[in-house]
Amino acid sequence: MLELKNISFGVTEDADEKEILKDISLVLEDNRFIAITGPNGGGKSTLAKVIAGIKRPTEGRILWDGQDITDLSITERAKLGISYAFQQPVRFKGVTVSDLIRLATGNSITTADACEYLSEVGLCARDYINREVNASLSGGELKRIEIATIIARKTKLSVFDEPEAGIDLWSFSNLISVFEKMHSQIKGSILIISHQERILNIADEIILIADGRVVKHGAKEDILPALLGTPDMMQCRFGCQEEC
Ligand SMILES: Nc1ncnc2c1ncn2[C@@H]1O[C@H](COP(=O)(O)OP(=O)(O)OP(=O)(O)O)[C@@H](O)[C@H]1O
Ligand SMILES: [Mg+2]
């Protein structure tokens, strides 16, 4: 179980303090599929990075199964079972796709298994397994490779930041199946940041974040109809300071 207790995150911009996350408290239970959504700039990616250990909160504590992990690095958190896929994945010159999947699983898999993970995200394994994870990969290819590494890792908490970004329309349905399968097969929670209704629709819980705060958190059945029924809700009602 992941607990966020009064998490705030601020940066100094032109000598001014800017608060990006404002006193966020959340409890994420085990074995749940949780979607985070909300307007652009609301703080979703920042929250994911705080959970993964890429950014340290300015205030508040993070507990993982009761252990205080606030001061642990991304690597230490990964060892405890938290994996994270970037909104814009990182490229690793000199590292092949095969290396990356092996690293994710702790070197314990065969090439055939690595290929299996690539096939799951719709990539022809033969064409990609020995490719370098460098600038020659397209954005969508890179995104899928990163998703494959997280699936291969099978950690207790997998965080995906907008996995749909850059994925073509034809592959999107397949991506939904990948997450559904992952949810049914792994013992662990999936936390997905998404703007896509079809992803929100397969979640158990939805968290709406806007202006650095949790605006709503509850069962999909309770949150989604209100989100969809109010077209301007995502853009204005929670995101803007002024009236739209
Ligand atoms: N280092 C930083 N310095 C200044 N502002 C920052 C910094 N990091 C993030 N921000 C700002 O914090 C806000 C939240 O950013 P974040 O990336 O978390 O939003 P988001 O909800 O993920 O948005 P999107 O839906 O567009 O991905 C944005 O206004 C962003 O410009
Ligand atoms: Mg983001």
Q: What is the pLDDT of residues 50-59, one digit of tens each?
A: 999 999 999 9
How far is 231 from 226, CA to CA, in rounded Å? Answer: 9
Sheet of 157-161, strand order: 82-85, 157-161, 189-193, 33-37, 205-210, 213-219
Query: What pLDDT sits at residue 32?
Result: 96
Dig out the tokens for 89 from the structure: 């994945």
Residue 39: C-alpha distances to residues 13, 125, 183, 210, 228 (Å): 22, 36, 26, 6, 14
- Considering the entire predicted model, what is its pTM? 0.90
What is the DSSP code (8-state) at residue 121? T
Strand partners, 217: 207
Contact 224, 35 (CB under 8 A): no
Pocket test of ligand 1: the residue of 46, 88, 207, 209 to mutate, having most ligand atoms within 8 Å of its CB, is 46
Q: Is the distance from the beta carbon of residue 11 to the nearest atom of ligand 1 less than 6 Å?
A: yes
Q: Is the distance from the beta carbon of residue 13 to the nearest atom of ligand 1 less than 6 Å?
A: yes
What is the average per-residue pLDDT within 193-219?
96
Residue 239: C-alpha distances to residues 23, 93, 123, 232 (Å): 16, 38, 37, 10
pLDDT tens-digit readout, 168-192: 888 888 899 999 999 998 889 999 9
CA 32 to centroid of ligand 2, rounded, Å: 21
Nearest to 147 by CA among 106, 107, 190: 190
CA 41 to centroid of ligand 1, rounded, Å: 5
CA 213 to centroid of ligand 2, rounded, Å: 14
Q: Relative to the alpha carbon of 12, which ligand is closest? A: 1
How far is 81 from 188, CA to CA, in rounded Å? Answer: 9
* pLDDT of 110 higher than 50: yes
The residue whose C-alpha atom lies closest to atom 30 belonging to ligand 1 is 41
pLDDT tens-digit readout, 57-72: 999 999 999 999 999 9
Query: What pLDDT sits at residue 226?
Result: 87
Nearest to 90 by CA among 41, 36, 127, 145: 145
